[in-house]
Structure 1
Amino acid sequence: MDSIGMDSMNQQGAAVLAQAAQAQQSNGAGRPKASDLVTALQATEKDTKPDYGLADLVGTWRLCFITGTKKTRQKAGVALGAGRYLPKLIKIQLAYQADTDDQGQVQNSVALGQLHLVLTGPVKFWTKSRCLGFDFTQIRIGLGQFTLYQGRIKPEAADQDFYEQPLKEQAFFKYFWVTDGGIAARGRGGGLALWYRAAG
């Protein structure tokens, strides 16, 4: 296939991702079929060489679509592996902040009604492999405005130890689509995910 045809396919895949992120950010109308979105994610991952850094990920992103990892596909079969949109009832968000060009913090929050769970920890951006390693070292559980529990999952030294680890010892996301409105990545376990930028 010539470069013009390949560029056209890349643009089509990215357009589907943008459509899905925008649809989920609004009322969900006009969102692509799950199977079409998985195809677009795979095509964009294969044909795109992303040029981004940790600064481009700074902000809050709401998870809206996932596919199964290799293990879950084996256990749950094709249905989960094909991918699914997350219901609005479940609010899962990632919030990144950068302390330096390649180090920062991540907050992963899950909310279901008034109950919410927040995990925080360090992140490291690996420039050569374009991967974002992360770890969760602290936890907070709340109900509405009340904090039910807050503490460390790992000792304080774990944060600094994380930065000294090689990538192979870290959990990570390999982002392949990074825009102002949405991001997409493959996780270490093999699953694909799409987020849109959360308001506020």
Structure 2
Amino acid sequence: MISSDLAAILNRATQPTNRPSIADLKMALQAAEVTARKEKLAIPFDALLGEWRLCFATGASKDKSKGVKIGRGYYLPKFIAASITFTKYPSSSNLGTATNKLSIGSVRIQFTGPCRYPGKKNLLVFDFTELQIEIFGKIVYQGKIRSGKNGEPNLETISIAKLPFFAFFWTGANEIAARGRSGGMALWVRN
């Protein structure tokens, strides 16, 4: 379990005011990830279900001598709304749907596709197979993308190594944090 000081930093980062510095937040995220790995933290799929508003994200770069180095990071500006939603199929304990939404002014972009939560290392794998673009409330494009063009992929048979994923390492009362396949980190708050 992470210290109450680190949890307080992560919680403050999801608030609209009095946020910690980016340096402090990155340090807290990395410390939470190390703690989760050491303690072999198990996060149940049910803890991730619902809609989550993105608060903070970093990119990442690969350095041959140091491995993955997370980028500077940024708090999401108020005029941009980004969220991710995870739902579970009623007939399955680890399969569901992931929906990623981005709204800037009157433009909304939504990616949807299947997800799987095998539980191992708190990985949630997904494959966005549908895209919808809406402008001023009118859908201007809706269609299948990537593997969705060939029918719905069976995530139970596709290797995790071939899919995008989030490796979750922290959950708070209303917050979650994860590292993505590319090495960047993100922090969300329940919407």
Shorter-chain TM-score: what band?
0.7 to 0.9
1:41-190 alignment, distance < 5 Å: 41-48=29-36, 49-70=40-61, 81-99=71-89, 100-153=92-145, 154-155=147-148, 157-190=150-183
Q: Structure 2: give runs of 5+ residues left out of the alignment.
A: 64-68
Instruction: Give, as a single letter, the amino acid of the residue that structure 2 aligns with 1:41.
Output: L
Partner Cα distance (1:120, 1:40) in 2 = 30
What's the CA shift string for 1:78-113, capped at 9, x where partnerless?
9x8122111011111101100121100011011100
Partner Cα distance (2:52, 2:116) in 1 = 18
1:17 is matched with 10
Percent of aligned positions with the same letter in both sequences? 36
1:30-41 alignment, distance < 5 Å: 30-41=18-29
Instruction: Give, as a single letter, the amino acid of the residue that structure 1 aligns with 2:50.
Output: G
Q: Structure 1: give runs of 5+ residues left out of the alignment.
A: 1-6, 73-77
**Partners of 1:141 and 1:148 within 8 A in 2:** yes
**Partners of 1:172 and 1:188 within 8 A in 2:** yes
Structure 1 residue 163 displacement after superposition: 2.8
Partner Cα distance (2:181, 2:148) in 1 = 24
Alignment root-mean-square deviation, CA: 2.0
Q: TM-score, normalised by structure 2?
A: 0.87
**Partners of 1:139 and 1:151 within 8 A in 2:** yes
**Partners of 1:50 and 1:178 within 8 A in 2:** no
Partner Cα distance (1:156, 1:162) in 2 = 15
SS at match of 1:94: strand
- Farther-moved stretch of structure 1 (50-59 vs 163-172): 50-59
More strand by share: 2
Q: TM-score, normalised by structure 1?
A: 0.83
**Partners of 2:130 and 2:148 within 8 A in 1:** no
**Partners of 1:116 and 1:143 within 8 A in 2:** yes
SS at match of 1:47: helix
Moved over 6 A (4+): none
Partner Cα distance (1:105, 1:133) in 2 = 10
**Partners of 2:42 and 2:119 within 8 A in 1:** no
SS at match of 1:162: coil
Question: How many residue pairs get matched?
Answer: 180
Partner Cα distance (1:129, 1:52) in 2 = 9
Instruction: Give, as a single letter, the amino acid of the residue that structure 1 aligns with 2:23.
Output: S
Structure 1 residue 40 displacement after superposition: 0.3
